[in-house]
Amino acid sequence: MITPGDIEAAEFKKVALGYSCDEVDTFLDKVIADFEKLYRDNSKMIEKAKGQDELIKYYKDLEDTIRNSIVRSEKNAEETKKNAQVEASQIVKAAEQQAKDLLLDAQKQLYQLESRILALKTEYEAVKGKLKMMLETQLNMLSQYELENISKDKE
């Protein structure tokens, strides 16, 4: 690329017929000034573009990092959800088993109580029968005693 210095250092052959050297020099001075400004502006724009490219690369890297973080977060959320479901299932199974065990224990206790009640009823009936027989015996003895006393009194 041609630089402003190249334009300033350029020399041309002088010919008899041609353009006015003063006019050409004046025009070239204007071209040099404008070209220097354009050259500086272009250099600034190139530097600015490099900075923008670096910024774009930074933001693309940041976007990739965020995207990867989101993917990891989604995976972690799914894994956490899956683990929670497994744990909930285990808790439900344990609770169901505990309920079954409690029900079985309650049924055993009920059976034992019913057996005990039946045994107590049987024992009650037996004691009642013995007591009735004993009272009847006592009544018979009392009646016989009275009969004997009445007979003795009559004699």
Q: Give me the mean pLDDT over the 134-148 stretch.
A: 92
Average pLDDT value for the chain: 91
User: Which candidate, 55, 51, 10, places its Cα nearest to that of 31?
Assistant: 10
Q: Predicted confidence band at 145 (pLDDT cuts at 50, 70, 90)?
A: confident
pLDDT at 63 over 90: yes
Burial of 88 (0-12, 13-18, 19+ CB in 10 A): exposed
CA distance 35 to 58: 34
pLDDT at 14 over 90: no
The pLDDT of residue 5 is 81
CA distance 31 to 34: 5
* Mean pLDDT lowest among 5-19, 33-47, 79-93: 5-19
CB 35 within 8 A of CB 4: yes
The pLDDT of residue 96 is 97
CA distance 67 to 63: 6
The pLDDT of residue 86 is 97
